[in-house]
Each structure stands twice: as structure tokens, then as C-alpha cells.
Amino acid sequence: MDHGNLPAALEPSLQCVSRRQGVDEPLAPAPITSRRSPIRSQPLSAEEAKRAVSREWIGRVTEAIDRSRRFFLTSQAPEGFWVGELQSNVTITAEYIMFQYFLGRPERQRVDKAVRHLLRTQQPDGGWNIYYGGPSELSATVEAYFALKLAGVSPNQPSMKMARKLILSLGGVEKSRVFTKINLALFGQYSWEGIPSMPVEMMFLPTGFYFNIYEFSSWSRSVIVPLMIIFAKKPEVKLEGFQGIDELYATPPDQRSMAVEWSEELVSWRNFFVLVDRLLKIVERRTPPAVRAAAVRRAEQWILEHQDVTGDWGGIMPAMMNSVLALLSLGYQPTDPVIAKGLEAIERFGIETADEFWLQSCVSPVWDTAITIIALSDSGLDPMHPALTKAARWLLSKQVLRKGDWAIKNRRGQPGGWSFEFFNDFFPDNDDTAMVLLALRLVRLPEEETLKEACQRGLAWLLSMQCDDGGWGAFDMNNNKRLLNKIPFADLESLLDPSTSDVTGRIMELLGKLGYPPQHPVMRRALRFLRKDQTEEGAWYGRWGVNYIYGTWAVLTGLRALGEDFSQDYIQHAIHWLESCQNPDGGWGESCYSYEDPRTKGQGPSTPSQTAWAAMALIESGKATTPTVERAMRFLVERQQADGTWTEEEYTGTGFPKHFYINYHLYRNYFPLMALARYRQALAGGTSG
């Protein structure tokens, strides 16, 4: 990848570029002294001056900031990090129950607590949804029902009858997602023949081949490799007859087709891949045993090599459970160190109360800590405050200094990124790395050289990860062969990790604040990508946050840091779209449903996090003194709790669009703090982080 006038961009000794000095004159990113971006508010007219905020109002804003700051200062972990619950849907907990029964050693008290959690979260119509306020979803309901039945809940209970009725009304088990069918097949409740092929022999395909495991997204890869072993071995736990779920099929046994379904379109990529799938099933049955065994050994080795020293795989629960199941199917025992460590890692993701137990799909300490540092710094906390220095040192300890899967496509980059979780050395990501670098530049540490070197490594790695289209994906370069999302196995449409506007906007924000000029090749290419990716309405899609409000905030913030002229039509278009989405209560909201129907973009009940994103975007756009932004700030101030927090039931984080959403429990708190602090700075004529 060509970085134009900055050939050192891929070296750990990278020097940041100063806008004042020119492209070829280096400026060390002494993370701490880089310029801040001015927020240029529009001049007040006489009429606007009459509406200028009063001293009393500024006092209320300051009190809200102080309350929020106290919350964070009193909730920091002794080690220096912050982490909030990462709430998703019940499939993770249901799969945990299945996992325990597959192991043959369910802990009764833990299972009973998980059962109570599932029953408490059941919807009035008998199903389970995948985001707050959303409709009941078939696969989540099938998995919850089966887990409850495995755990001994009678199918005659009213809750089970309601769930069963809903499942059948939605098409039955036959219409559930591929991963649900795999979980059922492990217990003999679905035929392996009905699951799209993913032959383990794919491990032999070279990285230069169009279809190989490194063309999958990192999260898909870490799940699929162990699944390929499971498909090859087809392990199965025999259930008693009363534990089965034949009652969830919409068609009688003699009328069921286990073949992958054709598309209604005669000529389509879907039908092409269905044909390929049927051919693969024939080939699989005729594969020489020696070839199959060699492929399984290669997949086994991949799993062993990708386990973190802590026992984790990929930092996500599906990868961790599947890896344990795959190794068990190869004859490993629960007492073997690799399995024992894996089981311990899985338990660390659990949350247990006196009455319930549930499992998180992932954990977010690096992300939460970096954003909290930025919010506290925006609030005026001294850059040498013990809370910030402790958090910064903790982040420094989490820098990934070994090569991971990203190096398969990025041969020139050297390690230096950060991952999302406590432990995930193989899969650092661009978004976390950018957020960490944005945070570290706001903190002063006595060990300045250590901080500087870490930031240089991180920045060099980040620059090396820019994709050919000018944007950045999350974990890999050029992971964008969209045809792969057409294969039958990819019913979640999540096999890829292409460039996205939200991640690209965040990295542009970082580079702009470090002094990269708009004419630098890296920035020019990123800007071209963003302009091409803008929607007709003026918004930008949010891949990792819900949704167009999130994406538009990230991009406008990046454009301000870059120094773009905000009077340009395409930027004004985005600003007007955001303003048009404000709710009558002063807030902003957007439902996860906007991923399914983009016509609903920017629509939904107001939430603290989404209101903060929209308000910050408008503040960066010079709108701090407008009634629109003041109403947003009043929304936040008036809804703050006495302890400095906000409530937010809605899911505003995204795992897989249309299929998996996240309620980050700290989003409701640090983003409003950041917005209020930046509002106060803007009114005082100051600058944002």
C-alpha cells in the first residue's frame, strides 16, 4: 500500500506529520502535545444572542458533568480499567446450557439460574427477541426453548406452550439460522445433511486462492475453523425421547426436506452456491480418509496455535465454545490443559446474581477504558490525574506486540494495535487502536518515552491497515469479497470485514488531530472513500453502532479534525439530515430495525447515547449555540440520575447487522458526559479533545 510522501508510515519509528511543517517534516506524536481541533461556532445573530444560554443553565450543565465524572472516578477497577456489561440476546446463554449438557456435567445450580434468566426475558407473545423493543425472533426462540427443555422445563408449562406456538407460526425449526441448526445437530435434533457444507479440506487452500479461510472476517474464521472439525466428526449427544424437540417442526417427518433450499430466482448466485453445496456433500462422502485426517490435523493445529495463553479464542463466545467442542470431538479430555483453560475462559464471561446467570458474548474493557479517558479529559480532568494515568498505564499493558492473522494480508505492518477485550492477541482491531490513541494523547505520564513509543507503534500499525479502497475495516485489510456472503452457510451475512464509514471516520479523526494535512495521500484516499459511501439522504452507515446516527457522528467528527470546509454541500447535507431526525423531546433515537429497512434511518425513541452522538456531530459542525443542540443538552441534563448515570434499555451497539445487537451498559454514561463537556467547551470558545 502506497503512503505517498510518508514511506516511514509502516515503521515503528513513525513520526507524525505536522500541518504547519508540511508533509516531509516529522513531528513526534508525543501523544500529548498534538494539536486540538477548534470547534468553530457560527456567529450569533441579534436574535440568537437573545437566546444565549444563561449562567444558570451553564451551572446545570456543569453539575451534570460533575455528577457523571464522580460516577466514573468511583467505578474504576483497581487495575485501572473501566468495563460495562455487554448485553446481547438469550442465544448466548441458551447455548451455554446446551454446552454444559454436551460436556455431560451441567452444574445444577448454575443451570437453574440460567433457566430463570431465560424465563424472565421471555416476551409476552412467548418468544425471545434480539434487541429491546424488537419482535420475537425465530432462532433465538428455538434455542431458548431447546435449552429450557434440556434443563428439565416441562413442555406443558404455559411459557413453553407459548414459545412453541410462536415458533410454529414463524415456520418452525426448518426456517431457523444455520448456527441454530448446528447446535441442534449436536444433540441429534437436526440432520447434519441439512446444514450447508464447510469441508475441513478447505484448510488446504492457499491464501492466494479466491476462497480460503483468510478471506473470511476474523470473527467468522475463529468460529468456522473449529466448526469444520465438528462437521467432519459430527459428534452427537443422545437424548432421551422426552428431551427432543420434534414438536417444533412445522412439517411431518415424512415430508421434511433436509436439503439446503433453492432461491426463488432461477438464475442467482444463491442457487449457484446451493448447487455447489450439493456437489460438496457428494465429494465429502468420497474424500479419502487420509486426506480428511490430514485436513482435520491442520484445523486442529490452527485452533491450538490461536488459543491465547489465558485460554481464550478470538475474544468471542461462539469461537470459544466451538473450539472446545471441536477438540473434545478429537478425543481431548476436559482435564487436558488446553480444554481446562478454555473452560475457565468461558466462565469469565458469565454474570451471576443471587437469582440468575447469563453469559456475555464478549467483553469490552479496552474500548470502555479508552472512551472513558476521553470523556473525563473532555470534562476538564487534569491530564495527570491518578485515574487517567492509571487507566493509560493499563492500556499500555494491553498493546498487542505479536503478529496475528492480520499479517496474512498485511505483510509490511508491524504489531502495535489494541484489541477489544482483556485477552485477544491474535485479533487487534483498527477501531480500538484509534480510540486508544485518541485517549493516550490526552494523558501525561512521567514515562513519556514509553508512551511515545507505544503510540508510534500503534499509529504505524493503523496506517499499514488502510484498505485499497481508502477506508479501514475492523480487523483485516481488503476483506471484501462480497460474493462469499452469498454462500448458503452465510445466512447471517457476516463473513466479511470490508471498509466502513464509522471506523474510517474515527481514524480520520485521529490522524487529523495528530496533524495530518488534508492533502496527505492517506487522508485523500480516506476522504474519497467516505464521500463515495454517503447515502442519498446525507447520512453514513454505522457498522458497529446503531446506525446512521452513529456513522454520521463518526464521519463528521473525522471531517472536522481533517479540516474540511463545512460549508460544502455534502457536509451540509449530513448536518441537515441529523437536524431533521431530532425528536420532539430534544433527543435522537434510531432502532436496530433501520438495518432491515433503511427507510427508517434516524427514527426511534430518544436514547442518551444516540442523543450524545448527534449532538456532538452538530457541535463539531459549529451548531453549539443553536436551539437544536440546547434541546439535546436539556434532554441529557433532565434525564440524568442522581448518581450521575443515565438509563437506556435500547440496544445502540451492533455486532452483526440484522442479526446480533449489543447494549453496551457504559454507552449510556460516557457518551453523554462527552457531549455535555464538549458543549460546555464550545460555549466557552474552547476545543474538543
Q: What are phi and psi of 358, to 5 degrees?
A: -145, 165
136: helix, strand or coil: strand
**CB 589: neighbour CB atoms within 10 A?**
24
* 392 touches 399 (CB < 8 A): no
CA nearest neighbour of 369 among 681, 34, 678, 72: 72
**Sign of the alpha-carbon dihedral angle for 623, 627, 633, 639:** negative
d(CA 25, CA 1): 21
Task: Indicate which residues carry an active-site annotation.
Answer: 431
Residues with Cβ within 8 Å of 519's Cβ and at least 6 positions away in sequence, in order, are 23
607: helix, strand or coil: strand
d(CA 486, CA 310): 35
* 344 touches 248 (CB < 8 A): no
Strand bridging mode 350-352 / 16-18? unpaired
Residues with Cβ within 8 Å of 686's Cβ and at least 6 positions away in sequence, in order, are 39
d(CA 299, CA 327): 10
Q: What is the DSSP string of 437-477?
A: HHHHTT---S-HHHHHHHHHHHHHHHHHT--TTS-B-SSSS
* 536 touches 573 (CB < 8 A): no
Residues with Cβ within 8 Å of 441's Cβ and at least 6 positions away in sequence, in order, are 29, 31, 32, 34, 455, 513, 514
Cell triple for 168: 410454529
d(CA 522, CA 43): 33
- Cα-Cα-Cα-Cα torsion 497, 499, 505, 506, nearest 10 degrees, comes to 30
Q: CA separation (Å) from 86 to 83, 316, 351, 496, 640?
A: 9, 12, 10, 23, 21
In the DSSP assignment, the letter for residue 209 is S
Strand runs labelled E in 306-395: 350-352, 357-359
